[in-house]
Chain A
Amino acid sequence: MDRFEWCDGNLYTGEQLVEQQTGVALYDGQEKTAFEIGILTLTTHRLMWRDHRNRSCVLCVPLSLVVYLEEQPSGFAKSAKIVVHLSPAPSQKAAGPVSSSNQSFVRLSFREAGEKEASIPPRHRPGIVGIERSLDQRNKQMNKNISHAFEDLSKLMEKAKEMVTLSKTIATKIKEKQGDITEDETVKFKAYLLSMGIPNPVTRETHGTGDKYYTELARQLASMLAKPIEESGGMMTLTDVYCRVNRARGMELLSPEDLMHACELMEMLGLPVKLRVFDSGVMVLQSQSQNEDEIVNNTTALVTEQTSLTAEELSQLVGLSVVLARERLLLTEKLGGVCRDESIEGLRFYPNLFHSSEV
């Protein structure tokens, strides 16, 4: 209590009011004091207490002396209190109501409640600490997001490392074998490299815009895909084409729309591959040389050989994607080579005995 000093109740310059609460009593340690009913004022600098009746009776203690606060919740017939622990009084201080006290704390008794608002720590320190904490949390969240985002990248980097070592080994092998590497192998190696990348992809920058771009693109696609399509049985779904093309183009990625436009032009340009849309809506690039009758005959023969086939089974049998295998079967069905059996087990195709066995 000896830390308190008399004052006039006016605010210093730069001092601001934070909170005010009526009906507060002061306790010197555990002891009641004469300061029973008053207005407690918290400012940015001081804690002030003004007597309710005698307005000129004002006490204050600078916040610099406050060490920490403790809350004592209200109980039966007991009002809530805040214990204010104070550091020892500085040697030079203005006169106060009590010259000396062996108590190092005072208690503020809130008879009209409001202790929560006045309670300085929850109000003040959490202010700053709270901001700090939320900043901290946001940082943490951000870090998490960033590291999450980079996880994929790091995986990619790992793969890149593998690729680099692979290319290094290939390079050294070629160097070592410089003498005895056969023409054949070099050619093969070059072919591999070519199938992995397009050396000078057609772009809007190099080949202009509009129709010219698309026709050039169509030509390049056709020449690049002719072989892989032939190898995969004469047909490739447009999704596969899209992946393959973009993998080969590296940085100059192609949009699905551009790819579509280019593919639509292929037939008109008389290129060795053309776009084909099945009744089901599946789109494929089909090599021009592919013979439809042959497919139908082959599929019919396969189904007859196996008694019955589903699209999955056919796809495994001929090494096609299920989508394409299904299209094959549907095409064959359309031309009367096979007939279907729809049951709870799914769609199966049988040789068309209706056609062959009758008569």
Chain B
Amino acid sequence: MADFEWPWQYKFPPFFTIQPNLETRKKQLEAWCSLVLTYQRHKKSYSLDVTEAQTSPLFHNKAINRKLTLDAIYTILDELKKRGHVEYTDKVRKQCLVMWRTPEEWGKLIYSWVSANGMNNTVCTFYELTEGDATTNEEFHGMEKWLLVRALRTLEAQGKAALMDDGVKFF
């Protein structure tokens, strides 16, 4: 994580207090959302444990001795959920999936890659898409299967793809 570049807000103590002023809070949450997503993306992590996150450097800046309270973390996660980047996997909201791109965005990304490589009307396996040699330079390389399936489903809904057991046909 040494090479992760923290935004300037990370060193700004008020960043760790949810601001009561609505205008200010909007900006603050904006910054938090992008920080969480870039951080997760940097770690290539697709999920987040709320309890663990409390002590992770993401929400706790030891250098200035500031950390988010649990309430504040939920405020941010709720905001991310509203934007479609977070989904809780359990009722007690201890575990959540973090998608630094929404399935729609992923779908678009994959489809544009497919189109660029002239693979329309062909069938690809999931393995090919995420682990294959042809996609090593693509962002969706190494993506977890559940997310891939969801991204492809959005394409299916648009009539751009058809899912099969372990593969997909693009149109």
Q: Is the Cβ of A353 less than 8 Å from the Cβ of B12?
A: yes
The verdict on B52 contacting chain A, using a C-beta distance below 8 Å, is no
Who on chain B is nearest to A339 by CB?
B14
Q: Which of A298-330 contact B (CB under 8 A)?
A: 308
Give the distance in Å from the alpha carbon of A65 to the alpha carbon of B54 in the complex: 96
Give the distance in Å from the alpha carbon of A336 to the alpha carbon of B24 in the complex: 7
| A: contact size bracket | 10 to 19
Give the distance in Å from the alpha carbon of A340 to the alpha carbon of B18 in the complex: 8
Q: Is the Cβ of B17 less than 8 Å from the Cβ of A358?
A: no
- Give a binary string over A333-354; 1 marks a CB under 8 Å from any B CB, 0 the rest: 1101001111100001010111
The verdict on A280 contacting chain B, using a C-beta distance below 8 Å, is no
Q: Give the total of B residues in contact with A, Cβ under 8 Å.
A: 17
Q: Within the complex, which residue of A334, A343, A358 is in contact with B13, where a contact is CB–CB below 8 Å?
A: A343
The verdict on A355 contacting chain B, using a C-beta distance below 8 Å, is yes
The verdict on B158 contacting chain A, using a C-beta distance below 8 Å, is no
The verdict on A357 contacting chain B, using a C-beta distance below 8 Å, is yes
Q: Is the Cβ of A348 less than 8 Å from the Cβ of B27?
A: no
Who on chain A is nearest to B19 by CB?
A339
- Chain B residue numbers with a CB within 8 Å of A348 are 13-14
Q: Is the Cβ of A333 less than 8 Å from the Cβ of B21?
A: yes
**Known interface pairs A350-B12, A354-B31, A357-B8; A341-B17 also in contact (CB < 8 Å):** yes
- Chain B residue numbers with a CB within 8 Å of A342 are 17
With most chain A CB atoms within 10 A of its CB, the pick from B21, B31, B66 is B21
The verdict on B5 contacting chain A, using a C-beta distance below 8 Å, is no
A-B contact pairs, 7 of them (CB 8 A): A333-B20, A339-B19, A340-B17, A341-B13, A343-B65, A350-B14, A355-B23
Q: Which 3 A-B pairs have the closest CB atoms?
A: A354-B27, A341-B13, A341-B14
Which residue numbers of B lie inside 8 Å of A, CB to CB?
A: 8-9, 12-14, 16-17, 19-21, 23-24, 27-28, 31, 65-66
